[in-house]
Structure 1
Amino acid sequence: MTDSVTKLNNYLQRKQASHTLSWAENSTGPSHAIKWTVECKVSGEVKGTGVADSKAAAKEDAAKQALKALGIA
């Protein structure tokens, strides 16, 4: 996991709310140029959306946005 993903997981664990975290992943484009879109949801509400060439980078961006939306970052 990356820094923002870890920070988000740790925050929700401290709040005893880690079960509220979910991710939605989608890829588009040809196999040689895939774009990943990852949504970070807390209690079913989208808190961040990341788009990148790799799933990990998109997830990190989504987590970073979620941290800001939650007032943590």
Structure 2
Amino acid sequence: MEVAGVVIVVGPRVTTCKVGDDVAYAGYPVSAYAEEIHPADKAVPFPPSIDPIVAAFVLFKGLSAELFSSLLL
């Protein structure tokens, strides 16, 4: 449910990232083993100084924290 990679192409209306950006994504639709991330608005750019595995992990942990905090309320 989490993935990180490099943008290789963007659609004509995409303004949130550009070709060559490192991006991470977590959540649905599940695409961790896909060659593309479908929803560009869900891709989160991150600096090249951050390991892609760490970037994807952090996003997934954020989703986990949100889920568990909602269960406690």
TM norm structure 1: 0.37
Q: Which has the higher contact order (CA 8 A, sep 6+)?
A: 2
- Pick the structure with more helix per residue: 1
- Pick the structure with more strand per residue: 1
Instruction: Compare CA radii of gyration and give the structure with the larger one.
Output: 2
TM norm structure 2: 0.37
